[in-house]
Amino acid sequence: MSFVVALTGGIGSGKTTVAELFAARGAVLVDTDAIAHDLSGPQGAAMPAIQAAFGNAVLRADGGLDRTAMRRLAFADPVAKSKLEEILHPLIRLHSEACCAAAENAPYVLLVVPLLVETASYRRRADRVLVIDCDEALQITRVTARSGLSVEAVQAIMAAQATRAQRREVADDVLLNDGGLDALLPEIDGLHQRYLELASAKLHAGR
C-alpha cells in the first residue's frame, strides 16, 4: 500500500503552492478538492444524486453544478448543506482511495485534504500528516488578493474551519508558510527526503 502524506491547512495557507513543489520533486498528488470538482462537473458521478436532491436550480447549462447557486442554498439551509455533504463525501473518499491505490508505484502520495482535521477517516488513512501553517492576517491578504472576496467573507470562512491550534494538534510535520518561496524550498527538500525514507521503510517492513 502506498505511503500517504496527508496535507492540510486553512484557506489561503498555501496548500496548492506547497503541494505543487512536492509534486515537482516526484510525489504523486491526490487532491480532494479537484476530485470534488470532477464529481460535480458535467457528467460528474455525483450529478444524478445532486439533481435528484436539489432539482435543476443548481445545474448549469452544461449539466455541471452551479457552485454559486449551491453555495447560496447551502449557506442559507444547513439541511441542504448536510444533504450535499452526504452525497459528495463518500464519493470523494472512494475516488481518493482509488487514486492512492493506483499510485502504488509512486515514491509516495501527497493527499491534499483541506478539511482533514474535521474528517477523521482521512487521518486514519494517512501515514503522516503535514500541516501548512500561516499567520491569519496573511491568509486574509492572500485570499482577498486572489479571489476578490471581502475581508469579512474570508474571516467567516476561517471561523467555520478548524483553528491553527487544532491543526497543529494532528500534525506530524508543520510547514510555516509565512515568508517567500525562497524560505520554503529548503524546508520542502528536507521533508521530501524524510518522506522518501519513511516510504521506503514502510515498503520494506511490508515485505
Binding part of the chain for ligand ATP, among 4-12, 47-55, 84-92, 158-166 by CB under 6 A, reads 4-12
Distance CA 64, CA 46 (A): 10
Distances (CA, A) of 115 to 49, 50, 174, 200: 23, 21, 16, 28
Query: What letters, b where the CB count within 10 A reaches 16 and e where it falls short, cover 23-49?
Result: eeeebbbbbbeebbebbbbeebebbeb
Q: What angle do CA 52, 54, 55 make, to 5 degrees?
A: 70
- Site track 79-118 with ligand ATP (rule: CB under 6 A), x = hit: -----------------------------------x----
Which stretches does DSSP call E strand in 26-119? 28-31, 109-112
Closest to ligand ATP by CB, 1 or 181: 181
Among 2, 6, 8, 12, binds ligand ATP (CB under 6 A): 12
The single residue among 117, 184, 191, 199 that binds ligand ATP, judged by CB under 6 A, is 184
Q: Give the interface segment with ligand ATP, choosing from 5-13, 40-48, 92-100, 123-131 (CB under 6 A).
A: 5-13
Is residue 17 involved in binding ligand ATP (CB under 6 A)? yes
Q: What share of the chain is helix, strand, coil (3-state, %, to 5)?
A: 60, 15, 30
Site mask for ligand ATP (CB under 6 A), range 160-179, x = bound: -----------------x--
Q: Is 16 in the site for ligand ATP (CB under 6 A)?
A: yes
| Binding residue ranges | 12-17
Which of 14, 66, 130, 133 is close enough to bind ligand ATP by CB under 6 A? 14
Instruction: Name the amino acid, one letter, at 40.
Output: S
Helix axis angle, 78-102 to 67-76, nearest 10°:
130
Chain-centre distance of CA 146, in angstroms?
Answer: 18
Touching ligand ATP, residues 41-60 (CB under 6 A): none
The CB-of-79 to ligand ATP minimum distance in angstroms stands at: 26
Locate 46 and state its grid cell. 455525483
> Minimum Å distance from CB 37 to ligand ATP?
12
Distances (CA, A) of 131 to 32, 148, 149, 163, 178: 16, 25, 24, 12, 13
Q: Is 180 in the site for ligand ATP (CB under 6 A)?
A: yes
Report the interface residues with ligand ATP, using CB under 6 A. 9, 11-17, 114, 142-143, 146, 177, 180-181, 184
